[in-house]
Amino acid sequence: MRSEEQHKDAPGQLALIQALVNTHYGQARHVHRELTTMEHLRTWLIAHRLIAESIPITEGDFRRVLQVREALRGFLRRNTDGENGPGSVELLNTLASNAPLTVRFQPNGLPVLEPDIAGVDGVIACLVSIVFTAMIDGTWGRLKVCRNERCQKAFYDTSKNHSGVWCSMTGCGSRSKARVYRQRHIAQTQDEPVDAPPTRARNGVENVSKK
């Protein structure tokens, strides 16, 4: 049987948005954090072919990319729970206003959005164009952030009815199910009347009171 943990990478360039959001997720001993210094960011951007090695990174660039990452995570919440994270749209619009895009037609006649600025602002423009394109081609709605507040990892929902809300059914999904089960069990125990009738005995024989 195919594991649900497989095939969770977004297709095409949308994988870049997923990769950026997933440079930080989880908390405490389950935390995953990649971009903690400007040098880490520079290495990450070069590895993903977003900037040339000669491009310097400033403190402001570092701060803006982390802001874009968290705005994108907030924006992806809509795909999981129907509502954007607070302030994410406004923040993304503010950052995008300094990252202009231009329409360019390819030899095959199809248009693409390209950054009209160099450096890290060009990277932000590139990320915005990927989001825009994914919204048009329909893949955006499947990129989600895990509903577990302590996780918030981005995953690509490959379920047939697009109903996935956990990054992993065996991790965050099963922990959530176990929590709901415990809460129901506690609620049922509290609701049970004190003089409840005897239940079926463990060996399958009804408890019968002696005459």
Residues 6+ apart with CB under 8 A from 105: 111, 112
User: Which C-beta is closer to Zn ion: that of 126 or that of 172?
Assistant: 172
Report how many helices (DSSP H) and strands (DSSP E) the chain contains, helices first.
6, 6
**What are 199's two structure tokens?**
């239940």
DSSP 211: -
- If binding is defined by CB under 5 A, does position 88 make contact with Zn ion? no
Cα–Cα dist 153/69, whole Å? 12
Window of 12-20, 128-136, 138-146, 185-193 that interacts with Zn ion by CB under 5 A? 138-146
Nearest 10 degrees: CA dihedral of 42, 38, 14, 78?
A: -170
Cα–Cα dist 44/48, whole Å? 6
- Report, in Å, the least distance between residue 192 CB and Zn ion: 34
- If binding is defined by CB under 5 A, does position 65 make contact with Zn ion? no
DSSP 48: T
- Report, in Å, the least distance between residue 5 CB and Zn ion: 11
- If binding is defined by CB under 5 A, does position 18 make contact with Zn ion? no
User: Which C-beta is closer to Zn ion: that of 131 or that of 145?
Assistant: 145
Binding mask 140-179 for Zn ion (x = CB under 5 A): ------x-x--x-x-------------x----x-------
**What are 151's two structure tokens?**
């996780």
User: Which C-beta is closer to Zn ion: that of 142 or that of 153?
Assistant: 153
Residues that bind Zn ion (CB under 5 A): 146, 148, 151, 153, 167, 172
